[in-house]
Amino acid sequence: MMAKLRRLINGQKISFDTHQAGDGQQVNWRNVHLEKSAINKRGKLRVPLLSEEKPTNRGMKERDFLKMAKEVKKELRKNRDLLNDLARSIAEVVFRYGQGEATIQDALEAARKLADYFDISEELVGLSKEYFEKEQLVKFTSYHINPARNVLVRIVQSYDYVEVGQLTAEEVESEILN
Protein backbone atom coordinates (compact mmCIF):
# COMPACT_ATOMS: atom_id res chain seq x y z
CA MET A 1 0.00 0.00 0.00
CA MET A 2 2.67 2.54 0.94
CA ALA A 3 4.63 1.32 -2.08
CA LYS A 4 1.80 2.53 -4.31
CA LEU A 5 1.73 5.88 -2.53
CA ARG A 6 5.50 6.22 -2.83
CA ARG A 7 5.10 6.00 -6.59
CA LEU A 8 2.35 8.63 -6.66
CA ILE A 9 4.41 10.88 -8.90
CA ASN A 10 7.56 9.78 -10.71
CA GLY A 11 10.73 11.08 -9.11
CA GLN A 12 9.04 11.79 -5.77
CA LYS A 13 8.37 9.82 -2.61
CA ILE A 14 5.82 10.03 0.18
CA SER A 15 6.05 9.08 3.84
CA PHE A 16 4.54 9.80 7.25
CA ASP A 17 6.74 10.97 10.11
CA THR A 18 7.00 12.87 13.40
CA HIS A 19 10.77 13.58 13.15
CA GLN A 20 11.38 12.16 16.61
CA ALA A 21 13.35 9.00 15.81
CA GLY A 22 15.78 8.18 18.57
CA ASP A 23 15.36 11.39 20.57
CA GLY A 24 14.43 9.46 23.71
CA GLN A 25 11.21 11.41 24.15
CA GLN A 26 7.69 10.08 24.13
CA VAL A 27 6.33 10.30 20.60
CA ASN A 28 4.18 13.38 20.09
CA TRP A 29 1.81 11.56 17.77
CA ARG A 30 -0.27 14.66 17.07
CA ASN A 31 2.74 16.01 15.12
CA VAL A 32 2.57 13.25 12.51
CA HIS A 33 2.56 14.64 8.98
CA LEU A 34 2.59 13.52 5.38
CA GLU A 35 5.92 14.33 3.79
CA LYS A 36 6.24 14.39 0.02
CA SER A 37 9.77 14.69 -1.33
CA ALA A 38 10.70 15.70 -4.85
CA ILE A 39 13.92 13.84 -5.53
CA ASN A 40 14.68 15.55 -8.82
CA LYS A 41 14.16 19.10 -7.54
CA ARG A 42 15.25 18.66 -3.91
CA GLY A 43 12.37 19.86 -1.87
CA LYS A 44 9.69 18.72 0.55
CA LEU A 45 6.02 19.34 1.05
CA ARG A 46 4.81 18.68 4.60
CA VAL A 47 1.12 18.44 5.41
CA PRO A 48 0.29 18.06 9.14
CA LEU A 49 -2.41 15.49 9.84
CA LEU A 50 -3.43 16.50 13.35
CA SER A 51 -1.51 19.57 14.53
CA GLU A 52 -2.60 23.14 13.93
CA GLU A 53 0.45 23.84 11.79
CA LYS A 54 0.01 24.87 8.18
CA PRO A 55 1.44 22.85 5.29
CA THR A 56 5.01 23.86 4.56
CA ASN A 57 7.30 23.93 1.58
CA ARG A 58 10.99 23.47 2.29
CA GLY A 59 13.80 23.73 -0.20
CA MET A 60 11.77 24.19 -3.36
CA LYS A 61 10.56 27.09 -5.42
CA GLU A 62 6.95 28.13 -4.92
CA ARG A 63 6.19 27.23 -8.55
CA ASP A 64 7.49 23.67 -8.05
CA PHE A 65 5.63 23.40 -4.74
CA LEU A 66 2.31 24.34 -6.36
CA LYS A 67 2.98 22.01 -9.28
CA MET A 68 3.63 19.09 -6.93
CA ALA A 69 0.40 19.71 -5.00
CA LYS A 70 -1.53 19.97 -8.29
CA GLU A 71 -0.07 16.66 -9.54
CA VAL A 72 -1.04 14.91 -6.30
CA LYS A 73 -4.60 16.27 -6.55
CA LYS A 74 -4.88 15.09 -10.14
CA GLU A 75 -3.61 11.59 -9.36
CA LEU A 76 -5.87 11.16 -6.33
CA ARG A 77 -8.95 12.34 -8.24
CA LYS A 78 -8.48 9.96 -11.16
CA ASN A 79 -7.17 6.88 -9.34
CA ARG A 80 -9.68 5.31 -6.94
CA ASP A 81 -7.18 2.65 -5.83
CA LEU A 82 -4.72 5.35 -4.85
CA LEU A 83 -7.42 7.15 -2.86
CA ASN A 84 -8.15 3.87 -1.07
CA ASP A 85 -4.45 3.40 -0.35
CA LEU A 86 -4.20 6.90 1.09
CA ALA A 87 -7.26 6.33 3.30
CA ARG A 88 -5.81 3.06 4.55
CA SER A 89 -2.44 4.73 5.18
CA ILE A 90 -4.04 7.55 7.17
CA ALA A 91 -5.86 5.05 9.38
CA GLU A 92 -2.74 2.94 9.89
CA VAL A 93 -0.52 5.94 10.61
CA VAL A 94 -2.92 7.51 13.12
CA PHE A 95 -3.42 4.13 14.79
CA ARG A 96 0.32 3.34 14.88
CA TYR A 97 1.54 6.73 16.07
CA GLY A 98 -1.45 7.21 18.37
CA GLN A 99 -0.11 4.72 20.91
CA GLY A 100 -3.59 3.67 21.98
CA GLU A 101 -4.76 7.27 22.47
CA ALA A 102 -5.94 7.99 18.93
CA THR A 103 -9.66 8.02 18.33
CA ILE A 104 -11.84 7.72 15.28
CA GLN A 105 -12.18 11.53 15.45
CA ASP A 106 -8.41 11.87 15.07
CA ALA A 107 -8.45 9.70 11.95
CA LEU A 108 -11.34 11.75 10.54
CA GLU A 109 -9.54 15.02 11.32
CA ALA A 110 -6.40 13.80 9.54
CA ALA A 111 -8.40 12.66 6.51
CA ARG A 112 -10.31 15.97 6.39
CA LYS A 113 -7.10 17.99 6.48
CA LEU A 114 -5.64 16.04 3.57
CA ALA A 115 -8.94 16.11 1.66
CA ASP A 116 -9.12 19.89 2.13
CA TYR A 117 -5.48 20.49 1.30
CA PHE A 118 -5.48 18.39 -1.85
CA ASP A 119 -9.06 19.42 -2.72
CA ILE A 120 -10.22 15.82 -2.99
CA SER A 121 -13.58 14.38 -2.12
CA GLU A 122 -15.01 13.77 1.32
CA GLU A 123 -14.89 10.14 0.23
CA LEU A 124 -11.39 10.05 1.70
CA VAL A 125 -12.86 10.82 5.13
CA GLY A 126 -15.38 7.98 4.92
CA LEU A 127 -12.80 5.50 3.68
CA SER A 128 -10.35 6.48 6.42
CA LYS A 129 -13.06 5.96 9.04
CA GLU A 130 -13.75 2.46 7.73
CA TYR A 131 -10.09 1.53 7.71
CA PHE A 132 -9.44 3.03 11.16
CA GLU A 133 -12.31 1.05 12.64
CA LYS A 134 -10.98 -2.14 11.07
CA GLU A 135 -7.41 -1.39 12.16
CA GLN A 136 -8.46 -0.55 15.68
CA LEU A 137 -10.91 -3.35 16.22
CA VAL A 138 -9.24 -6.34 14.60
CA LYS A 139 -7.04 -7.43 17.50
CA PHE A 140 -4.62 -6.25 20.13
CA THR A 141 -1.50 -8.20 21.09
CA SER A 142 0.52 -7.58 24.24
CA TYR A 143 3.57 -9.31 25.65
CA HIS A 144 4.33 -9.85 29.32
CA ILE A 145 7.32 -11.30 31.16
CA ASN A 146 6.53 -13.75 33.93
CA PRO A 147 9.65 -13.39 36.12
CA ALA A 148 8.64 -16.22 38.46
CA ARG A 149 8.72 -18.68 35.56
CA ASN A 150 11.22 -16.76 33.38
CA VAL A 151 8.91 -16.94 30.34
CA LEU A 152 7.29 -14.57 27.89
CA VAL A 153 3.49 -14.59 27.73
CA ARG A 154 1.53 -13.31 24.72
CA ILE A 155 -2.06 -12.13 25.12
CA VAL A 156 -4.10 -11.64 21.94
CA GLN A 157 -7.48 -9.92 22.28
CA SER A 158 -10.22 -9.31 19.75
CA TYR A 159 -13.98 -9.04 19.88
CA ASP A 160 -14.21 -12.75 19.17
CA TYR A 161 -11.64 -14.18 21.57
CA VAL A 162 -8.86 -13.74 24.12
CA GLU A 163 -5.87 -16.00 23.69
CA VAL A 164 -3.20 -16.34 26.38
CA GLY A 165 -0.12 -18.39 25.69
CA GLN A 166 3.44 -18.94 26.74
CA LEU A 167 5.94 -18.46 23.93
CA THR A 168 8.66 -20.95 23.10
CA ALA A 169 12.20 -19.74 22.36
CA GLU A 170 11.52 -20.18 18.62
CA GLU A 171 8.30 -18.18 18.83
CA VAL A 172 10.03 -15.38 20.73
CA GLU A 173 12.71 -15.21 18.03
CA SER A 174 10.05 -15.24 15.29
CA GLU A 175 8.00 -12.50 17.03
CA ILE A 176 11.08 -10.30 17.40
CA LEU A 177 12.17 -10.73 13.79
CA ASN A 178 8.70 -10.05 12.40
Find, among 167, 163, 166, 147, the residue nearest to 155 by Cα.
163
Write the pLDDT tens digit of every residue in 123-148.
888 888 887 777 664 566 777 887 78
Q: Taking the domains of the chain in order of start, what are their residue ranges?
A: 2-137, 140-177
Residue 22 reports pLDDT greater than 70: no
5-19, 35-49, 103-117, range with the lowest pLDDT: 5-19
* C-beta of residue 45 within 8 angstroms of C-beta of residue 68: yes
